[in-house]
A and B are shown apart, each in its own frame.
Chain A
Amino acid sequence: MDARGASLTAIADGVRAGTFGAREVTEQFLDRIGRLDGALGCYLKVDAEGARRRADAVDAARKAGRDLGPLAGAPLGIKDIFCTRGIETTCASKILRGFVPPYESTVTARLAAAGAVSLGKLNMDEFAMGSSTENSAFKPTRNPWSTAHVPGGSSGGSAAAVAASLCAGATGTDTGGSIRQPASLCGVVGMKPTYGRVSRYGVIAFASSLDHPGPFGRTVEDAAALLEVMAGVDPLDATSIPAAVGAYRQAARAGREGLSGLRLGMPTEYFQPGMDPEVEAAVRAAVDELGRAGAKIVPVSLPHTKYAIATYYLICTAEASSNLARYDGVKYGYRAADVKSLEDLYTKTRGEGFGAEPKRRIMLGAYVLRAGYYEAYYGKALRARRKIADDFTAAFAACDAIVTPTSPTPAFKLGEKTTDPLQMYLADIFTVAADLAGIPALSQPCGFTKAGLPIGLQIIGPALGEEICFRVGGAYESRTDWHKRLPPEAAP
């Protein structure tokens, strides 16, 4: 078994068949992390001891003839926004440094019960606010395809770790594009499911009506296998959907048989003059390939696309200002020293504990919610959100899935957008609408720039239409080999 480039479904199949042991797999990945992560900065914390213990338990279960889960021995990285019992969880913020959750998120509990082996916690933008992972309070993560470039964000640690084979799959969260955009920039598969398809219990809240946990994989089937385990109703999340979980892996495989009978919509608003020529060429070529796979390509219109970023930033900052009020230096996390009063405790703790981006969003959110401005900003955004969602409903009357670029550009350089927050926000221009509408969307590699940076194709489905996304993704992947390319790495 060679860890580099290995898919997690192939690893789980090998462990289940006894071709190799979970411990052997775990050691290979831990060795890679030790050798390669210093230059990439994917992990905030490596839990080698815990990983070995979990791998040994899988091997012991196999020896004892017990049933192994579908993800037996699959080495995963966990975005540091998922609470892990007994393991420090910081959300890449100084304000949560030292926080050791007394409970486990539903997602990580389900993955562990399916036999997956968590290797550690992955870097991200602080509180998932950002599109480059440069907002981490601890360190930036670098793109494995070019370390001068960002991996995207906020789940940049997850995307980069999967791309560099420092884990075979990973968890992420997507509020405005935080799974799909880094997946696109790092050349891996990322899936944002329908809102409520995956439980948010134990996922540190940023904007509750927009937060979507989901998987990263090297292949479409890998992402499907992870989502099958992560998804499902959860009594601990009242917004989780009580619908049966789909056969996602089967859908990914079914795509290999072609797409005849399927209509794919190309929204004119996502293919505008002036877009990055290399991104446009790669995505148009991908759509042509889907046509050759049997799909009928039809034009559709999403006329309120131009309001999506403004709508998103009004809603997400409003929700963030409320959610982040809990960090007060009393119950957990950072507490400022030498305070004279309760107010002093709050202002010093929050002033010293939060980085610039959470502060910016808390202030914006408080501003748009304040009396006299509420209707003009927040109220307006909630109405615009419905118009954006209605655009998709209308489009899905004419097509079964929508295909677009995931990101308007390939990976940008570290430092290129940090001085202008608005430019950073515009990196999410093709991803935010699916979050506002709460509908599933997958990103997969569909080419590379001349400079060798990955380009991503986005496939958007209707609510609970994850299987359609996986089928289209599976079809494209079976006809191309972008997903087989591996980023360069330093010689051992």
Chain B
Amino acid sequence: MTGELDAILDYVDAMRELDTTGVEPMTHAVPFDCPLRADQVAPSLPVEEALANAPRREASFFQVPRIVPGPGGAPGGGEEVL
């Protein structure tokens, strides 16, 4: 894959010859103002549905491997906790 990525980067390097001095970057195809909506509470996804696709869950939480050291300063391990 390294060779493929090199070939692609070589190809895009041809852009260096293009003079873009003073050209405004175009981040969006159509000019638009970020629209604001009324600050009203609307229905959102119920917790059960939001969690329905989670590969691992417990109660109303997504479950991930331990991030902070356990009790007694033990390093993070494979045991999964909330």
Contact B4 A421 (CB under 8 A): yes
Nearest residue in B to A375 (C-beta to C-beta)? Answer: B25
**Complex interface: stretch among A280-288, A291-299, A327-335, A470-478:** A327-335
Q: Which chain A residues lie closer than 8 Å to B9 at the CB level?
A: 364, 367
Q: Which of B8, B27, B54 contacts A422 (CB 8 A)?
A: B8
Interface string of B35-79 (1 = CB under 8 A from A): 101000000010001101111100000101111000000001110
Chain A residues numbered 245-296 whose CB sits less than 8 Å from any CB in chain B: none
A367 → chain B closest CB, angstroms:
8
Contact A235 B5 (CB under 8 A): no
Nearest residue in A to B56 (C-beta to C-beta)? Answer: A335
Known contacts A311-B15, A340-B65: A100-B30 contact under CB 8 Å: no
Interface string of A334-365 (1 = CB under 8 A from B): 11001111101100000000001001100110
A12: interface (CB < 8 Å):
no
Contact B62 A331 (CB under 8 A): yes
Q: Which chain A residues lie closer than 8 Å to B24 at the CB level?
A: 383, 386
Contact A304 B30 (CB under 8 A): no
Q: Which chain A residues lie closer than 8 Å to B5 at the CB level?
A: 360, 363-364, 367
Q: Which of A196, A304, A356, A380 contacts B32 (CB 8 A)?
A: A196
A307: interface (CB < 8 Å):
yes
Contact B55 A334 (CB under 8 A): yes
**In the assembly, what is the distance between CA of A7 and CA of B12, in Å?**
42
A239: interface (CB < 8 Å):
yes
Contact A102 B52 (CB under 8 A): yes
A48: interface (CB < 8 Å):
no
**In the assembly, what is the distance between CA of A420 and CA of B62, in Å?**
40
Contact B35 A194 (CB under 8 A): no
**In the assembly, what is the distance between CA of A242 and CA of B37, in Å?**
14
**In the assembly, what is the distance between CA of A235 and CA of B36, in Å?**
10
B29 → chain A closest CB, angstroms:
2
B81 → chain A closest CB, angstroms:
12
A74: interface (CB < 8 Å):
no
Contact A342 B64 (CB under 8 A): yes
A46: interface (CB < 8 Å):
no
Q: Which chain A residues lie closer than 8 Å to B15 at the CB level?
A: 307, 310-311, 314, 380-381, 384
A357 → chain B closest CB, angstroms:
10
Using a CB–CB cutoff of 8 Å, the interface residues on chain A facing chain B are 98-100, 102-103, 194-196, 209-210, 235, 238-239, 241-242, 304, 306-307, 309-311, 313-314, 329-335, 338-342, 344-345, 356, 359-360, 363-364, 367, 376-377, 379-387, 389, 420-422, 425, 436-439, 463
Using a CB–CB cutoff of 8 Å, the interface residues on chain B facing chain A are 1, 4-5, 7-9, 11-12, 14-16, 18, 20, 23-30, 32, 34-35, 37, 45, 49-50, 52-56, 62, 64-67, 76-78
Q: Show 23 residue pairs from A and B whose CB-CB distance is below 8 angstroms, ordered by the A residue.
A: A103-B45, A209-B27, A210-B29, A238-B35, A239-B30, A241-B32, A304-B18, A309-B11, A310-B12, A313-B12, A334-B55, A341-B78, A342-B76, A382-B25, A382-B26, A383-B25, A384-B15, A384-B18, A386-B26, A422-B4, A437-B29, A439-B29, A463-B30
User: 9 nearest interchain CB pairs?
Assistant: A438-B29, A332-B53, A382-B25, A335-B55, A383-B20, A386-B26, A195-B29, A102-B49, A383-B23
